[in-house]
Structure 1
Amino acid sequence: MSLLIRGGRSFRNADTKKLAVLGTVGVPANYGGFETLAENLVRYHADSRLPIEFTVYCSSKSFPGKNPRYLSAGLRYIPLHANGPQSIPYDIISLFSAVRHRNDIILLLGVSGAVVLPLIRLVSKAKIITNIDGIEWRREKWKGLAKWFLRLSEKIAVRFSHEVIADNAAIADYVYSTYGADCHVIAYGGDHVLEASAQPLEDIDLPENFAVAVCRIEPENNLHLILDAFSRQSEYSLVIVGNWRSNAYGRELRDRYGSASHICLLDPIYDLGKLKTLRSQAAFYVHGHSAGGTNPSLVEAMHFGLPILAYDCDFNRATTEDRARYFADSDQLLSLMREADPAEMERIGKEMLEIARRRYTWEAVGKEYFDLM
Structure 2
Amino acid sequence: MPSTKSIAILGTVGLPAQYGGFETLVENLVHYREHSAASDVLTVYCSSRSYPERTPEYLTARLKYIPLQANGVQSIPYDFLSLVSAVWNRNDVILLLGVSGAIALPLVRLVSSARVVTNIDGKEWRREKWRGLAKKFLRFSERIAVRYSHEVISDNAAIADYVKDTYGVNSHVIAYGGDHAVAVDAVPVDEYSLPDKYAFSVCRIEPENNVHIIVEAFSAQETIALVLVGNWENSDYGRDLRHRYQAFNNLYLLDPIYDLGKLKTLRSKAAVYLHGHSAGGTNPSLVEAMHFGVPIIAFDCDFNRSTTEDRALYFSDVESLRHQIITLDDAVSEKVGKDMVEIAQRRYTWAKVAEQYFALLHDRGEKLKGEK
TM range (shorter): over 0.9
Structure 2 partner of 1:10: none
What whole-Å deviation, never above 9, does each CA across 1:56-99 have from its counterpart, x for those lacking one? 00111111111111111111011111001110000000000000
Identity %: 65
Contact 2:118 2:152 in 1 (8 A): yes
What whole-Å deviation, never above 9, does each CA across 1:327-359 have from its counterpart, x for those lacking one? 110100001111111111111000000000000
Aligned in 2, Cα 1:202/1:82: closer, same or farther, shift over 3 Å? farther
Aligned to 2:162, which of 163, 174, 179? 174
What whole-Å deviation, never above 9, does each CA across 1:88-144 have from its counterpart, x for those lacking one? 000000000000010000000000000110011001000000000010111111110
Distance in 2 between residues matched to 1:96 and 1:280, nearest whole Å: 44
Structure 2: stretches of 5+ with no match in the other structure:
362-372
Aligned to 1:66, which of 54, 57, 62? 54
Per the alignment, in what secondary structure is the counterpart of residue 245 of structure 1?
A: helix
What whole-Å deviation, never above 9, does each CA across 1:193-225 have from its counterpart, x for those lacking one? 112111122521111210000100110000001
Distance in 1 between residues matched to 2:268 and 2:190, nearest whole Å: 16
What is the CA distance between 1:240 and its match in structure 2?
0.6
Structure 1 partner of 2:40: 52
2:305 paired with 1:317: yes
What is the CA distance between 1:49 and its match in structure 2?
3.0
Aligned to 1:268, which of 236, 252, 256? 256
Per the alignment, in what secondary structure is the counterpart of residue 106 of structure 2?
A: helix
Structure 2 partner of 1:332: 320
Contact 1:22 1:91 in 2 (8 A): yes
2:114 paired with 1:101: no
Distance in 1 between residues matched to 2:194 and 2:17, nearest whole Å: 27
Distance in 1 between residues matched to 2:194 and 2:201, nearest whole Å: 14
CA RMSD of aligned residues (A): 0.8
Per the alignment, in what secondary structure is the counterpart of residue 147 of structure 2?
A: helix
Contact 2:4 2:38 in 1 (8 A): no
Distance in 2 between residues matched to 1:56 and 1:307, nearest whole Å: 36
Structure 2 partner of 1:123: 111
Contact 2:273 2:294 in 1 (8 A): yes
Q: Which deviates more, 77-86 or 355-364?
A: 77-86
For residue 171 of structure 2, what is the amino acid of its counterpart? Answer: C
What is the CA distance between 1:292 and its match in structure 2?
1.1
For residue 248 of structure 2, what is the amino acid of its counterpart? Answer: A
Aligned to 1:291, which of 269, 279, 284? 279
Structure 2 partner of 1:344: 332
Structure 2 partner of 1:158: 146
Per the alignment, in what secondary structure is the counterpart of residue 200 of structure 2?
A: strand
For residue 337 of structure 1, what is the amino acid of its counterpart? Answer: I
Count of aligned pairs: 361
Distance in 2 between residues matched to 1:17 and 1:340, nearest whole Å: 51
Contact 1:25 1:31 in 2 (8 A): no
Structure 2 partner of 1:110: 98
Structure 2 partner of 1:188: 176
Per the alignment, in what secondary structure is the counterpart of residue 334 of structure 1?
A: helix
What whole-Å deviation, never above 9, does each CA across 1:301-322 have from its counterpart, x for those lacking one? 0000010000000000000000
Structure 1: stretches of 5+ with no match in the other structure:
5-14
Distance in 2 between residues matched to 1:265 and 1:122, nearest whole Å: 51
Distance in 1 between residues matched to 2:24 and 2:58, nearest whole Å: 14
For residue 327 of structure 1, what is the amino acid of its counterpart? Answer: F
Distance in 2 between residues matched to 1:37 and 1:193, nearest whole Å: 13
Per the alignment, in what secondary structure is the counterpart of residue 203 of structure 1?
A: helix
Q: TM-score, normalised by structure 1?
A: 0.96
Contact 1:208 1:237 in 2 (8 A): no
Per the alignment, in what secondary structure is the counterpart of residue 172 of structure 1?
A: helix
Structure 1 partner of 2:216: 228
2:120 paired with 1:132: yes
Per the alignment, in what secondary structure is the counterpart of residue 264 of structure 1?
A: strand
Segments of 4+ in structure 1 off by > 2 A? Answer: none
Distance in 2 between residues matched to 1:202 and 1:28, nearest whole Å: 28
